[in-house]
């Protein structure tokens, strides 16, 4: 009898269990709650595993295959769970005019939810078993590779700071290393690893180099800066990949010792001894190496031999030193008179601060650009030439549209301007006690005295060939004689900054060829005389405390640029004055009319 009862119980279980499960699926709410709970748990486990994976990648470790497959499967299950949970809304819809639930839809949705829930439980179980997600790769040899595909730059901290600032970009992993007299491999490796955000755990220098190299090779954009290297440094010993086989990693090295950066991978054997001689003629100065290398970039053997002969010739002619001969080569290699003129003009200004908008005013006044009639065209041409000079390492780019010039280059440019173009110029702070002799003044084409200490100006400046007069002043007691410009009728550019001029010198009326007049930060009152300068294209009165723009300014029908910035006392511009300036392209009035 017990056997019959047991059999009956089994039969009932087998018959009614499928029915129970089917009925349960129709009332699917419990399945939904279970899936939501398990997916939340799975998401937490995935987050922990993903963090471990990212940490391992930063340590240059490899990820286990089953971990990657698990993460991919979790992604698929997550998408499926999102889909079926969205379908639960369909199961809420009723049929027969809303009188009865749609049992078929509920059954289908509940079945999918239950199946997805079972997969989620499996993934939770697997994810909880991961003790490690990664492993260290087998050590390998890097091989013997020469240091190549980098350029040497002069070791100057402020230049490096500018490079770093310009390269601060979310797409670039930037690593800066400042070296010492004797490079410390482990410290350099450690600083690079810190910059990349991973820890070097290998004990030996070679092991650390291999791990670092593997990590750097994974980067698509990374710049490694090794500054002030005084001894030759093997990049393979550090763990820095180099050469054309790894374009993702760029290296910038600086040194004051040419031999520390010397490239020995010149492909043309005939070129190597010539290149060595050229380097020797650069007097071991990194800045000259860079400048000469830029001038001879991609040059063939003939160009290098020609350069060497020119360097030798300059030395024989004793143009001061091998430094000047190297710079002379770079200067004469510039293509065209316009770029040379801009370079020499920069040599007449303050080397550490050369605003490009000042260069624009000057170049327009001097008419340096041929076949250009508008200010916009002149601006484009100037920007192009400035960029070319920066590319040739003859200028340094800066922020706020300001460029700079190395003091060696500035001295050289001033020397060439004086020698070839009869320019009288002195560096900032120079004491000018006496003016040059009459016969020398008569030959000058330009005078530039930026913030020099001048005891006084001559009553009449007899310079019949003078085209440019630049005077930046710091002495409030400096007087401008009324007849100063009576003998400078060929003047095209005048810039007198921070000079007290309650009354303009009457000799201005003789400047019939003047095209640029800058009287910035001068104490101006009556400026009606400016209306007589009919050839003016640029008039700059920045910060000169003018109260009223005279009607006579309307006579300047050739004017292209009028700069009235920082004149808070300016109250009146008479009607129709600006409308008469039919050639005007740029009008600046920032921080004016404030009172």
Query: How far apart are alpha carbons 533 and 546 in whole angstroms?
Result: 19
Measured between alpha carbons, how far apart are the two ends of the chain, in Å?
Answer: 115
Closest Cα partner for 454 from 478, 479, 432, 435? 432
- Say if strands 538-540 and 561-563 run parallel, antiparallel, or are unpaired: parallel
Helices (H) and strands (E) in the chain, counts: 18, 20
Instruction: Identify the CATH assignment for 335-421 out of 3.40.50, 1.20.120, 1.10.10, 1.25.10.
Output: 1.10.10
The residues near 357 (Cβ < 8 Å, ≥ 6 apart) are: 401
Which helix (H) or strand (E) covers residue 332, if one does?
helix 322-332
**What pLDDT is stored for residue 161 in this prediction?**
60
Concatenated DSSP letters for 352-403?
T-EEHHHHHHHHHHHT-STT--SHHHHHHHHHHHHHHHHHTTSSB--STTEE
Q: What is the pLDDT of residue 162?
A: 55
Check: CATH 1.10.10 for 21-135? no
Two structure tokens written together for 432? 């000018």
Q: Which pair of structure tokens corresponds to residue 181?
A: 């007299």
For tokens 């070791």, what's the residue?
155
Q: How far apart are CA 336 and CA 241, in angstroms?
A: 40
Contact 475, 497 (CB under 8 A): no
Q: What pLDDT, on a 0 to 100 scale, did the predictor assign at position 323?
A: 63
Tokens of 461: 């400046």
Q: Which of 450, 463, 462, 492 is nearest to 341 (CA)?
A: 492
| pLDDT for residue 576 | 92
Q: Using CA atoms, how far apart are residues 218 and 250, in angstroms rounded to an integer?
A: 13
The model carries a pTM of 0.55
Question: Which parts of the chain have pLDDT scores under 70?
Answer: 1-30, 87-109, 136-183, 227-233, 242-248, 253-268, 279-298, 310-323, 594-595
Q: Going by DSSP bridges, is the β-strand pair 453-454/493-497 parallel, antiparallel, or unpaired?
A: unpaired
The CATH code of domain 423-588 reads 3.80.10.10
Burial of 60 (0-12, 13-18, 19+ CB in 10 A): buried
Q: Rounded to whole angstroms, how far apart are CA atoms 558 and 426?
A: 33
Q: What is the pLDDT of residue 147?
A: 40
């Amino acid at each position: 009898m017990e056997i019959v009862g047991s059999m009956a119980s089994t039969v009932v279980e087998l018959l009614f269990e499928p029915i129970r499960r089917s009925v349960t699926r129709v009332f699917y709410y419990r399945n939904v709650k279970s899936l939501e709970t398990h997916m939340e748990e799975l998401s937490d486990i995935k987050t922990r595993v993903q963090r471990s994976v990212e940490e391992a990648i930063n340590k240059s470790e490899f990820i286990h295959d089953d971990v990657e497959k698990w993460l991919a499967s979790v992604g698929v299950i997550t998408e499926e769970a999102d889909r079926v949970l969205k379908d639960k809304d369909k199961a809420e819809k009723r049929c027969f005019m809303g009188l009865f639930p749609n049992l078929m839809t509920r059954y289908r949705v509940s079945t999918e939810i239950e199946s997805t829930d079972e997969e989620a439980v499996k993934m939770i179980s697997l994810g909880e078993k991961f003790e490690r997600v990664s492993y260290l790769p087998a050590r390998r040899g890097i091989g013997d590779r020469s240091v190549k595909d980098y350029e040497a730059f002069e070791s100057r901290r402020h230049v490096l700071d500018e490079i770093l600032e310009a390269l601060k970009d979310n797409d670039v992993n930037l690593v800066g290393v400042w070296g010492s007299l004797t490079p410390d491999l482990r410290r350099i490796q450690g600083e690079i690893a810190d910059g990349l955000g991973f820890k070097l755990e290998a004990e030996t220098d070679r092991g650390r180099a291999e791990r670092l190299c593997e990590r750097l090779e994974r980067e698509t954009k990374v710049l490694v800066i090794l500054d002030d290297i005084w001894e030759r440094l093997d990049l393979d010993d550090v763990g820095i990949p180099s050469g054309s086989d790894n374009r993702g990693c760029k290296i910038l090295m600086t040194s004051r010792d040419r031999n520390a950066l010397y490239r020995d991978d010149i492909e043309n054997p005939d070129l190597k001894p010539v290149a060595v001689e050229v380097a020797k003629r650069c007097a071991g100065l990194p800045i000259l190496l860079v400048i000469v290398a830029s001038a001879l970039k991609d040059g063939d053997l003939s160009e290098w031999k020609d350069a060497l002969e020119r360097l030798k010739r300059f030395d024989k002619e004793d143009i001061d030193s091998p430094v000047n001969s190297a710079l002379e080569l770079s200067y004469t290699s510039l293509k065209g008179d316009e770029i040379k003129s801009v370079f020499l003009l920069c040599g007449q200004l303050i080397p550490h601060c050369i605003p490009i908008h000042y260069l624009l005013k000057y170049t327009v006044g001097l008419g340096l650009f041929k076949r250009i009639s508008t200010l916009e065209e002149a601006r484009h041409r100037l920007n192009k030439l400035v960029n070319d000079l920066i590319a040739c390492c003859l200028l340094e780019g800066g922020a706020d549209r300001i460029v700079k010039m190395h003091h060696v280059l500035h001295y050289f440019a001033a020397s060439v301007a004086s020698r070839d173009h009869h320019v009288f110029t002195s560096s900032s702070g120079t004491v000018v006690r006496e003016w040059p002799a009459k016969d020398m003044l008569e030959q000058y084409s330009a005078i530039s005295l930026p913030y020099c200490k001048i005891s006084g100006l001559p009553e009449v400046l007899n310079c019949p060939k003078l085209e440019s007069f630049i005077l930046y002043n710091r002495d409030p007691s400096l007087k401008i004689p009324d007849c100063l410009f009576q003998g400078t009728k060929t003047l095209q550019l005048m810039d007198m900054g921070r000079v007290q001029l309650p009354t303009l010198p009457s000799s201005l009326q003789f400047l019939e060829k003047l095209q640029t007049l800058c009287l910035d930060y001068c104490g101006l009152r009556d400026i009606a005389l400016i209306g007589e300068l009919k050839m003016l294209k640029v008039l700059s009165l920045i910060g000169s405390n003018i109260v009223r723009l005279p009607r006579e300014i309307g006579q300047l029908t050739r004017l292209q640029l009028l700069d009235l910035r920082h004149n808070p006392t300016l109250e009146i511009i008479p009607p129709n004055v600006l409308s008469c300036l039919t050639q005007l392209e740029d009008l600046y009035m920032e921080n004016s009319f404030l009172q």
